[in-house]
Amino acid sequence: MKIVVTGAAGFIGSNIVKGLNQRGITDIIAVDDLRDGDKFRNLADLQIADYIDHSVFYEAFAKREFGKVEAVFHEGACSDTMETDGQFMMSNNYGVSCQLWSACQAQGVRLLYASSAATYGGSSSFVETPEHEKPLNVYGYSKLLFDQRMRREMGADFAKNTAQVVGFRYFNVYGPREQHKGRMASVAFHQFHQLRKEGHVKLFADYGGYAAGEQERDFVFIDDVVAVNLWFFDHPTQNGLFNLGTGRAQPFNDVALAVVNAARDEQQEPPLAMAQAVKDQSIRYIDFPDALRGKYQCFTQADLSALRASGCDHVFADVQTGVTRYMHWLAHNA
């Protein structure tokens, strides 16, 4: 069984390769852009059959140069929400995805692709329907436009296809193998390093009607993201667009406290309550940056109705569980 993973050296892509390897699947074509050479580390401990640069893969795939492919996990994209080059973003995220989808449909290859919760942007409701889609940046729009193309071509449930098509609207994903993402790495990743370097973690102060650190996001652990991707891989008759989050919004304060207490656990120290962590300045608050005003989601929470209706009953880790696991991983692998 031959599988293609685009963005294979990236965060979610490399974890999907790992998940496939754990099933004994190694006939994997890894597609990525390794101009950032350090991303190789995400593939170094994994088993793949071949590596193809993204600049040549899509045209070669359309020409059927890789033989029979069962499925493509399409994770390759520019995920920098602060990127303002719209021409680049639309070409890289929308144009390439359309080209890949066309080739998959022509060959009967299943496509499981990464969308984003950024498609909701300024919405206060997170349901996979057009009235709730209000992106705040060109990244979110690039993802939304491809989702819209899929609806137009294949219907609201993506069922008019020659092979499975599934889109996943990822919420705030965190976990191992994201170290190359720089400013776009998760808040948990940044706080781990802040704590090591400065002895405290930083959160935004009050903004958008929320008290300091109380802005809420749907934080989802990478292992859960992989599990849901593989559930749909196991159920090839399921098509459509699905939120992929926990369905439970939690404040940034919860993340920060889990980071602090995981570090204390590594030192065999007792956990702190939130009030004590703030009092002893293990958690500190900084002014909300002007550059993010009007472009920041203060609240996200995946509506999982469509996911559950598909039959996927995966149980997601909460912040305390997932972040604690991640912090212990970082402590021994950073």
The torsion defined by the Cα of 162, 168, 174 and 178, in degrees rounded to 10, comes to 40
**Short-list 69, 74, 73, CA closest to 107:** 69
**Short-list 184, 218, 172, CA closest to 82:** 184
Q: Of 2, 134, 181, 202, which one is the catalytic site residue?
A: 181
Instruction: Give the 3-state secondary structure of residue 185.
Output: coil
Annotation marks residue 181 as catalytic: yes
The β-bridge partners of 51 are 30
Q: Of 58, 113, 120, 139, which one is the catalytic site residue?
A: 139
Contact indicator for 181, 263 with CB cutoff of 8 Å: no
Contact indicator for 303, 117 with CB cutoff of 8 Å: no
CA distance 286 to 297: 17
**Count of alpha carbons within 13 Å of 90, Cβ hemisphere only?**
7
Contact indicator for 316, 224 with CB cutoff of 8 Å: yes
CA distance 241 to 147: 8
CA distance 272 to 128: 38
Annotation marks residue 39 as catalytic: no
User: Which are the catalytic amino acids?
Assistant: 139, 181
